[in-house]
Structure 1
Amino acid sequence: MKKRVCYLLTVMVLTGLLAGCGEGQGQEEEPATAQKTQESAENASSAEGVSTAEAGKTYETAEPEPEGSVLHIYCIGEDFKSRMQDFYPDYEITGDDTGKIGESRVKWHVFNDDAEYRDSLNEVLEDQSLPPEEKVDLYVVKEEYLRDYVESGNSLDVMADVGLTAEELADQFPYTQQIAMDRDGKLKALSWQATPGVFTYRRSIAAEVLGSDDPETVQEAVSDWERFAETAQQMKEAGYYMLSAYGDAYQVYSDNVSSPWVRDGVLNIDPHLEDWAFQTREFAENGYIHGTEQWSDEWRADHTGDGEVFGFFYSSWGIHYTLQDKAEGTSNSDGEDEDEDEDSSVTSATGDYAVCRGPQPSHFGGQWIVAAPGSDDTELVRKVLYTMTCDPAVLKKITGDIKEFTNTVSGMKELAESDYKAEVLGGQNPIPVYVETALALNQRYVTSYDDDLDLGFQVTMQDYFEGRTSEADALETFRKAALSRYEELTESPGDEEEEEEE
């Protein structure tokens, strides 16, 4: 996900509404970053009972398929598809978007753009006229919009409806289930991943300023936010920044709130988020933070050996998939490879990083698999969900082969004791830190509003960080924008009283 685009989008969606742009409120808006592929066009057509010889041109009536013979799986991106192809026992690839599991055929419907994916997925989920053999059986969603499906009738209870047992689910990291439970406590989605967040720091800077690059020594220096600020002062005195972007620590604070964004229809700003805003302003005033924007070229450059930033908060997948490129300076703000000659002067920081737990446990992102109502093969749905999210052997193999931290407590504890190493971390085995963090996570306060309001809050607070407005005015701007965005929400009486007093 490109955070730079999301931030700009949030500015338009939230603060733009203050000028009267109130259309489409209550619906998530996404940037159109890619065109639907030829395969996606064919999938959408087949969902209506036709196939295409060439998208948008010649259409022929499709031959009816035998009832119950096809498992339709809808995905955003190739991640789950590739995991199934590479790790599901007895999976047979029969084409670019087709496969077989035993006698059952698998049809993949893969999209690269979130907005197009959700529109197409919602259309087929709601189409009651589709015959059973053409209905969605499984679909994959990102965390940003997981709650929209968990709280809808378009998701099955994986225990009561699909048939998985508490014993089979017991080895998953609890937070991955908390996120996927509806308001009645029904578990509606499962993930093969866990994505714990850790503090990722430069070994060379730690050794210079703290006297050691050992993770336990550094953990003592960042064990809570008070110690984190004290260490930031030490870094400043030595000529370094503690963090790069204003938003670098936000997810950590957000994962440790004591109340949800919305409670009984009332907009609520948790005190811990105000703590983040206050500390970030202090860091900006004291020169502890570089003042970049996440995912920008400046932020990326801070990761290299030429950067002057001590650390970043990263998730397990971020360390494997993005930190390596950032440390070497081989990708730009859009995640594309740079011309080698252009970055030939960049000093690589590969091997100069290590991880520790940080002030508080956190996570970032992930994808969940949802079982759709109306599936004509719930037994196969059950087998796929069990194999890809509950089977320790399969999940441990995924981690061993492609370095993705997976959703098995026992499997990850086993690898924590192994010789597993990460090159970008100087040979450190990060899995013990991941396991400890993932087990400490609590996600009781998630709502469907989180992604939008989190982004909007960060954007609105930037004027406060840079001294252009007061904290009170920034909070009031955010409240007005959020209430305009979501007309069904109301302001808490306490907020109204504070405004009258001012």
Structure 2
Amino acid sequence: MKKRTKKLISMSLASIMALSLAGCGGSSGGSDSSKKEGSGDAGKTLNIWCWNDEFQSRFNDYYPEVEKVSKDKSTTTLKDGTVVKWTINPNENNNYQNKLDEALLNQEKASADDKIDIFLIEADYALKYVDSDYTMDIKDLGLTDDDLSEQYQYTKDIVTIDGTQKGTTWQATPGLFAYRRSIAKDVLGTDDPEQVQAAVADWDKFNAVAEKANEKGYKMLSGYDDAYRTFSNNVAAPWVDGKTVKVDENIMKWVDQTKTFTDKGYNNKTSLWDDAWAKDQGPEGKVFGFFYSTWGINFTLLGNSLADPDGEKEVGNGIYGDYAVCQGPEPYYWGGTWICAATGTDNKDEVADIMKKLTCDKDIMKQITLDTEDYTNNKSAMKEIADDPDYGSAFLGGQNHIKLFAEQAEKIDMSNAGKYDQGCNEKIQAAFKDYFDGKVDEDTAKKNFEKAITELYPNLEKVEWPSN
């Protein structure tokens, strides 16, 4: 199962990074000890850091310059003889960021073959690295506006600071509502995506369907966190204004809905990624649907739907084929992985070529989607698949989900993203879990959030809540 683990930003380490840079005069151009550009002077080793094997598999399967992969997959050899060394540190307990930060602090002192060339980041903590001198302007690598012209704007905005883009990605991650066809037929009398969408087109309608589902013995959602991203991606302003955390009204709408769903039995009281949540997506599940972005459907939901995880991915194995997707009450996105070039890399030409081929090449992007059903970051390629009358996902009962993703991707707005997003999103969900369970009242949950967030970010002075 593909798990998107998002842990807390280490603010003290980020501060050390900034101070270190100030002391050594770091800049996007790299250190004096870096080798000159050009394939002839390139390092013999290309070091790539990530937290799981997703990018590694994309690289090994689709980068045209791959010659061979070692049996243990720890290295990949390119056609020019360059050896790609993979450093994969799982992100449990912030392990990935902590080890990456330590390595970046030592980047200038590292030998040529030990320097980090590429590292991967997620949206929730992207600004921590984008707003530092440890990431390079991709234009300095040679990527042009024309190269990036088919990418979705929000994927560029997330890794842009003061007009400088410091990363690029092969994927876009718009979200949809994935529902069980059989349950929809029982509750609504239809499993047709357009008719189901009409039934859940806004939150009032969604809540009404939850009541109907409950009457039939089903849960509308699995747990507390399932709808969170749909609300948090549609806030009116960033989390922090100056030194004040301002909780958006839309976040409190999530709190109110989740408390109602919990009290009335419309959810199963699970949390994202726990065993009960995963089980709710499988053959024994009684949950109407799940909010998922692109990667979640073709990786996590598909895997959880199978009765035999090692068996064929086909109708007859669990509830494969019983899911479909619709837009849901609000557009949103969830997740995504960006490729950053580390300042000091001695393989600039190779890094640029990887970025161009694996995030800008239309044919490669299209093939990734055709092979994996993942949604890639190229508008023209996705439109071709969306408009193909013969394309359909067997997992989704033959539905062309790319068409819906293409419509949703254009609606994503990242103008309210900020560097405190990860911590605020995680702490608010954690603080209100006890409230949903009835262990504390709402005022206590608010106080617990205030305490947690000011401890995490000591520079923030207070929290303001929306008036009722």
Calculate the TM-score normalised by the size of structure 2: 0.84
Contact 1:81 1:108 in 2 (8 A): no
> Matched residue of 1:290: which SS?
coil
3-state SS, counterpart of residue 442 of structure 1: coil
Shift of 1:411: 0.5
2:292 is paired with a residue whose SS is strand
> Do residues 451 (structure 1) and 422 (structure 2) align?
yes
2:69 and 2:75 in contact (8 A); partners too: yes
Change beyond 3 A, Cα 1:5–1:79 = closer
From 418, 423, 438, the counterpart of 1:467:
438
Counterpart contact for 1:4–1:294, Cα < 8 Å: no
Matches of 1:235 and 1:68, distance apart in 2: 60
**CA deviations over 1:86-128 (Å, ceiling 9, x no partner):** 2122321264444454536132232132345434433332332
1:264-413 paired onto structure 2 within 5 Å: 264-330=242-308, 348-413=318-383
* Pair 1:92-2:71 in alignment: no
Q: Deviations over 1:182-217 (max 9, x none)?
A: 2x1321111111122110111112112212111010
Alpha-carbon distance, 1:26 to partner: 4.8
1:180 correspondence with 2:192: no
Q: Is the 8 A contact 1:421 1:428 kept in 2?
A: yes
2:245 and 2:12 map into 1 onto residues whose CA distance is 14
| 3-state SS, counterpart of residue 83 of structure 2 | strand
CA distance in 2 between partners of 1:291 and 1:181 (Å): 38
Distance 2:303 2:3 in 1: 17
- Distance in 2 between residues matched to 1:3 and 1:459, nearest whole Å: 18
Q: What aligned pairs does 1:17-416 form with structure 2 within 5 A after superposition?
A: 26=12, 67-70=41-44, 71-93=46-68, 95=70, 96-103=73-80, 105-114=82-91, 115-127=94-106, 128-132=108-112, 134-159=114-139, 161-182=140-161, 184-330=162-308, 348-416=318-386
Q: What do residues 73-94 of structure 1 show as CA deviations (whole Å, max 9, x unaligned)?
A: 2232222222222212232126
Q: Distance in 1 between matches of 2:271 and 2:238?
A: 26
Decide whether the 8 Å contact of 2:3 with 2:300 is kept in 1. no
Q: CA RMSD in A?
A: 2.9
Inter-partner Cα distance in structure 2 for 1:75 and 1:320: 21
Percent identity of paired positions between Structure 1 and Structure 2: 39
Question: Structure 1 CA distance, aligned partners of 2:4 and 2:342?
Answer: 33
Gapped regions of structure 2 (runs ≥ 5)? 15-39
1:347-405 Cα deviation digits (max 9, x unpaired): 92221110001111122222110012222332332221111101111111111122222
- 2:269 partner SS: strand
For 2:143 and 2:352, the matched residues in 1 are separated by: 7
Q: 1:329 to 1:478 in 2, by over 3 A?
A: farther
Q: Structure 1: any 5+ residue segments left out of the alignment? A: 14-23, 29-65, 332-336, 341-345
Which residue identity does 2:409 align to in structure 1? A
What is the Cα deviation at residue 2 of structure 1?
Answer: 8.5
Q: Number of residues paired by the alignment? A: 432
Structure showing greater Rg: 1
* Alignment CA distance shift 1:119-1:285 (3 Å): closer
Q: Does the CA contact (< 8 Å) of 1:392 and 1:408 recur in 2?
A: yes
The 3 A distance-change label for structure 1 pair 116 and 288 is: closer
Q: Retained in 1: the 8 A contact 2:75–2:86?
A: no
d(CA) in 1 for partners of 2:3, 2:397: 27
1:439 match: 410
Q: Which stretch shifts more, 132-141 or 403-412?
A: 132-141
When residues 386 and 248 of structure 1 are mapped into structure 2, their CA distance, relative to the original with a 3 A threshold, is same
> In structure 2, how many angstroms separate the alpha carbons of the residues matched to 1:281 and 1:373?
46
1:445-490 CA-to-partner distances (Å, cap 9, x unmatched) read 2223222321221121122223333323311221122112211111
